[in-house]
Structure 1
Amino acid sequence: MWTSSGRFQQVNLLHCSDVVLHVNPRYENGHEYVVHNTLQNGSWGSEERAEECPFPRGKPFALQIFVTHEHYKISANGKPLWEYKHRVLFSRVDSIHVSGMVDVNLVLVQFPEPLYAPIPGNFRIPYKSIIYGGLYAGKTIVIQGLIYFHAKSLEVSLRHKTGVAFNYHCHFDKNVVVLNNYEKGEWGEPEQHDEMPYTSGQHFQMTICCSNNHYTVFASGVEVHTYVTR
């Protein structure tokens, strides 16, 4: 996660002098876009352009790079931006480089399957933690773990002192996802979806992206549900 103080130049995943993945937002004559490329043996390959630039100058943002066997799935603020097919084995990446006019406040390297190394903090279930500073537009929550075999449900709640602003409840036994809120001692009208993006017995990655008027939920970088704030 990075916070932009103006505009930043590039994020590179490196192997020695090669750039395995190059992510380069550009702002040229009112045209904003993002270039993706690879540098091997001193030569750049063909550019791939995303004709949008979701990195507003002067505002915080989150850049996420999800690695699969075939692609880098690149997201900005929880929204998919680009899929970049591997040109160099991703296992060769040994460093990350960020440059330009940017304040870096967090860089996480996560290993979704399996998690061999211990993670700092207490992640016993049910897990509860304070979100210091609260939520605001552009803030992103990433939850990653393993769903047990024969699990009946997975539930995430964003709470405040007197209620639940957003409850995201996956019912594996019914194969539905229910979205709701809890205010003044009562649950609101539930929103039920038949699309179940998670599977019991599998690793998962859930991203919740906050905007001014809704929460957007992504599963492994793919948008699956949107909930208008109440």
Structure 2
Amino acid sequence: MMAFPQQFYNPGTPFTGTINGGLQVGKSITISGWVQPGADRFHVNLQCGSNTNADIALHFNPRYDSLPGYVVANTFQHGRWGTEERKQNFPLPTGSAFNLLITVTSDSYQMNINGTHFMEYKHRISFFQVNTIAIDGKVDISSITFSNPMFAGLPQPGFPSQPGFVPAFFSVPYKAIISGGFKMGRVITIQGTVHPNATRFNVNLNHPYGIALHYNPRFNENVVVRNTKYGGKWDSEERDGPMPFHKGQPFTLTICCENHSFRIMANGMQAHTYRHRFTHLQHISELEIDGDISITSVNV
């Protein structure tokens, strides 16, 4: 059973929030949102306090004053900025949705954008001092989720190309208890890789009488099937929309529970919306994943 993660849902900007329990090795922060059209910049700060002159351990600052954009990473300490680190080839154009994953390791922050490793930023301030997240600029945030490490002593997986990382893969089929059921604002994030010769995989949100959401990418048909099962019988399938997954490629799948539907994002991009057919969301009790994928991270 996994602990219910700390979450903020649809916060306005500027936003400042307390990080419950602070940071630790393996803790991850998933930020989903949209870069506003015509944006000049925005930032995500991991801070040592919420006051205006607090030290900033990580300043993650996408800028768009030159195309196609770049990221400045820096630290603010004792009232002064340190030396900037800049990363070009930024995969976040203005007007686009994104999923940013920040994972704490013993010596750095690892930044993953839309399922792909983007950059590493070495610690200049001890992460144990960080207790606040702040976001501001030309960005709309849909959710912020904090997840503690799944296994003590292991780094959060998902960056196999980085020296020193040993990816931990979850066994498939995979099941996890959803404590407290579903409700508006709850978010599930799954990271993994589609097998090179994949036929299909599925993600199910189960309840005692069936399946509230069956999300089923089928590569042999190039379609994502969505459906609901109740009392042993399937309802009518939904098959419209894109196929955002590719054989042999990593992915980040995010399922957000909204008032009337599940909003489903793949690699930070809006993919599908599925209206609730099973409306007793509080009875959804299990996440089930099966098929031709490897799983490296599950935040429930």
TM-score by length of 1: 0.62
State the Cα distance separating 1:175 from its structure 2 match: 0.4
- Corresponding position: 1:112 with 2:175: no
State the Cα distance separating 1:113 from its structure 2 match: 4.0
Bigger shift: residues 157-166 or 193-202: 193-202
- State which of 38, 46, 70 in structure 1 corresponds to 2:90: 70
Q: In the aligned structure 2, how far is the partner of 1:82 from the partner of 1:125?
A: 24
Partner of residue 21, structure 1: 60
State the Cα distance separating 1:190 from its structure 2 match: 0.4
- Higher RCO (Cα < 8 Å, 6 or more apart): 2
Unaligned runs of 5+ in 1: 24-35, 45-66, 74-78, 84-88
State the Cα distance separating 1:110 from its structure 2 match: 4.6
- Corresponding position: 1:12 with 2:59: no
Partner of residue 59, structure 1: none
- Where does 1:70-109 land on structure 2 (aligned, <5 Å)? 70-71=90-91, 80=97, 90-94=119-123, 97-99=130-132, 106=147
Does the C-alpha gap of structure 1 residues 3 and 128 become closer, same or farther in structure 2, counting only changes over 3 Å? Answer: closer
State the Cα distance separating 1:185 from its structure 2 match: 1.9
Q: In the aligned structure 2, how far is the partner of 1:80 from the partner of 1:158?
A: 24
- Where does 1:1-230 land on structure 2 (aligned, <5 Å)? 2-3=6-7, 8=16, 12-13=45-46, 19-21=58-60, 42=80, 70-71=90-91, 80=97, 90-94=119-123, 97-99=130-132, 106=147, 110-114=156-160, 116-119=165-168, 123-230=170-277
Q: In the aligned structure 1, how far is the partner of 2:88 from the partner of 2:254?
A: 17
Give 1:20's aligned amino acid: H
Q: In the aligned structure 1, how far is the partner of 2:44 from the partner of 2:90?
A: 20
State the Cα distance separating 1:173 from its structure 2 match: 0.8
Stretches of 4+ moved more than 4 A in 1? 16-19, 36-41, 107-111
**Higher strand content, 1 or 2:** 1
Unaligned runs of 5+ in 2: 18-42, 48-54, 63-70, 101-117, 135-144, 150-154, 278-300
Give 1:177's aligned amino acid: V
State the Cα distance separating 1:11 from its structure 2 match: 5.2
Identity between Structure 1 and Structure 2 (%)? 28
CA RMSD, aligned part only?
A: 4.1
